[in-house]
């Protein structure tokens, strides 16, 4: 019989409510006494869940004991009003206990201060400043490339500070980086980005360290056409890459069709690698359905929609890029029931072997989740 590990986590249940505190401060002068008025808004939000999860088999193929666990996230945001305002955001996390009694995550996880002015916004965070900036993990994310392009930096890049000019002559301009700039690795994470429109063209660009990219898109005969080009640096000698791509998105008989083609060329040798991809999406009987394939023989299929009182999700990928062989296909499937008369309370049952956990946690799981 499988053992169950009972996890207890302190859970602070607060209503999802916003409330304001006002302070009247008397100011004395030679002629009169008047009051200055200031107001700060404090908003509490959070979520919590209780779940029973049977993890995937170990690398040796052995079964793993099921785990009863709970998680809680609590966020508080304090904002001062006015054209020049400041927002302070804190995040608290309580995680599940592991088999040896330790806790995998607990305590203050994020603390971000954002200053908003008519000209620019500045966010500085202890973990990731994007929460306050609201514009991606780093400034170079403003650059929009095309599938099969390497992209700038990595998906895991984060920033401790983020400065943005959201309306710089109709453009969004941003810069981001690490707080500790004493190491070369930290300096190399400094990034810049911009996006905007000019003459009917949507333009994005970004750069990090020695990487740089630019893309341009426009509407043409009912379709959206995007072209992109980037120069990607490699620390391995003679491995720098020049990549280009084109993507076309168009409506087609009640469906949306997307096709793309990319070319990666090693600058030193001229060796090239050509890739392509195609996908369609549509709605069938209330279900959102999408399917795609590419030159790497990576076939994908996803369907999501209402099935009686529950919402069904099935997500299949024949060859996930995080795995090494085509037989390691990933599947996520589950149903979620929204409890009537509640705000954000759900009960779900699911299975997933996707390392990215796009839709559900890994393993076979039953979970009750709350939002407040």
Look at residue 127 and tell me whether its pLDDT is greater than 70.
Answer: no
Point out the least confidently predicted range of 169-173, 216-220, 233-237, 283-287: 233-237
**Region of 209 on the Ramachandran plot (φ > 0 left; ψ -120 to 50 alpha; else beta):** left
The answer to whether the CB of 331 falls within 8 A of the CB of 354 is yes
Give the pLDDT confidence score for residue 59 in this predicted structure: 63
> Quick one: average pLDDT of 202-226?
94
Give the pLDDT confidence score for residue 320 in this predicted structure: 53
Round to whole Å and give the CA distance between 291 and 37.
57
| Cα Rg of the chain, angstroms | 25
Confidence of residue 10 (pLDDT cuts 50, 70, 90): very low
At residue 167, φ and ψ (nearest 5 deg) are: -145, 70
Non-local (6+) Cβ contacts of 88 within 8 A are 77, 78, 79, 111, 112, 113, 114
Higher pLDDT, 54 or 154: 54
> What does pTM read for this prediction?
0.74
- Across 62-76, 144-158, 356-370, the highest mean pLDDT is recorded for 356-370
Look at residue 292 and tell me whether its pLDDT is greater than 90.
Answer: yes
Pairing between strand 106-116 and 121-125? antiparallel
Look at residue 295 and tell me whether its pLDDT is greater than 50.
Answer: yes
Q: Which of 86, 89, 77, 84 is nearest to 42 (CA)?
A: 77
* Mean pLDDT across the chain: 79
Q: What is the DSSP string of 50-75?
A: EEEEEPPPPTTS-----EEEEEEEEE
Confidence of residue 369 (pLDDT cuts 50, 70, 90): very high
Give the pLDDT confidence score for residue 156 in this predicted structure: 54
Q: What is the DSSP string of 158-226?
A: --SEEEEEEEETTEEEEEEE-S--SSHHHHTT-EEEEEEEETTEEEEEEEETTEEEEEEEEEETTEEEE
- Across 102-111, 114-123, 341-350, the highest mean pLDDT is recorded for 341-350
Give the pLDDT confidence score for residue 206 in this predicted structure: 94
Give the pLDDT confidence score for residue 5 in this predicted structure: 30
Non-local (6+) Cβ contacts of 30 within 8 A are none
Point out the least confidently predicted range of 12-21, 184-193, 337-346, 355-364: 12-21
The answer to whether the CB of 293 falls within 8 A of the CB of 299 is yes
Round to whole Å and give the CA distance between 82 and 12.
31
């Amino acid at each position: 019989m499988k053992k169950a590990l009972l996890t207890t986590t302190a859970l602070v249940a607060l209503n999802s409510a916003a409330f304001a505190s006002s302070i009247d401060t008397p100011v004395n002068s030679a002629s009169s006494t008047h009051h200055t008025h200031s107001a700060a808004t404090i908003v509490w939000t959070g979520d919590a869940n209780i779940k029973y999860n049977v993890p995937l088999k170990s690398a040796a193929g052995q079964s793993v004991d099921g785990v009863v666990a709970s998680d809680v996230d609590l966020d508080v945001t304090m904002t001062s009003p006015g054209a020049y305002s400041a927002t302070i955001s804190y995040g608290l996390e309580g995680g599940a206990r592991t088999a040896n009694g330790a806790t995998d995550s607990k305590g203050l996880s994020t603390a971000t201060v954002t200053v908003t002015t008519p000209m620019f916004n500045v966010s500085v965070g202890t973990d990731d400043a994007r929460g306050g900036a609201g514009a991606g993990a780093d400034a170079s994310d403003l650059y929009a490339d095309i599938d099969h392009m390497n992209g700038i930096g990595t998906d895991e890049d984060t920033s401790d500070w983020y400065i943005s000019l959201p309306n710089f002559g109709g453009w969004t301009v941003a810069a981001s980086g690490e707080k500790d700039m004493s190491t070369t690795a930290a300096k190399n994470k400094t990034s810049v980005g911009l996006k905007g429109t000019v003459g009917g063209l949507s333009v994005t660009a970004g750069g990090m360290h020695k990487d740089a990219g630019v893309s341009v898109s426009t509407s043409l005969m009912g379709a959206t056409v995007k072209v992109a080009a980037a120069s990607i640096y490699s620390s391995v000698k003679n491995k720098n890459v020049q990549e280009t791509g084109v993507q076309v998105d168009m409506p087609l008989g009640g469906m949306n069709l997307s096709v793309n083609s990319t070319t990666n060329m090693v600058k030193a040798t001229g060796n090239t690698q050509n890739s392509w991809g195609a996908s369609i999406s549509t709605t069938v009987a209330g279900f959102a359905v999408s399917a795609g394939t590419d030159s790497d023989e990576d076939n994908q299929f996803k369907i999501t929609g209402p099935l009686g009182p529950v919402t069904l999700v099935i997500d299949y990928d024949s060859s996930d890029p995080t795995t090494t062989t085509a037989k390691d296909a990933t599947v996520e499937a589950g149903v979620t029931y929204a409890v009537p008369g509640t705000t954000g309370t759900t009960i779900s049952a699911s299975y997933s072997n996707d390392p990215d956990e796009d839709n559900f946690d890994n393993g076979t799981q039953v979970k009750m989740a709350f939002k407040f």
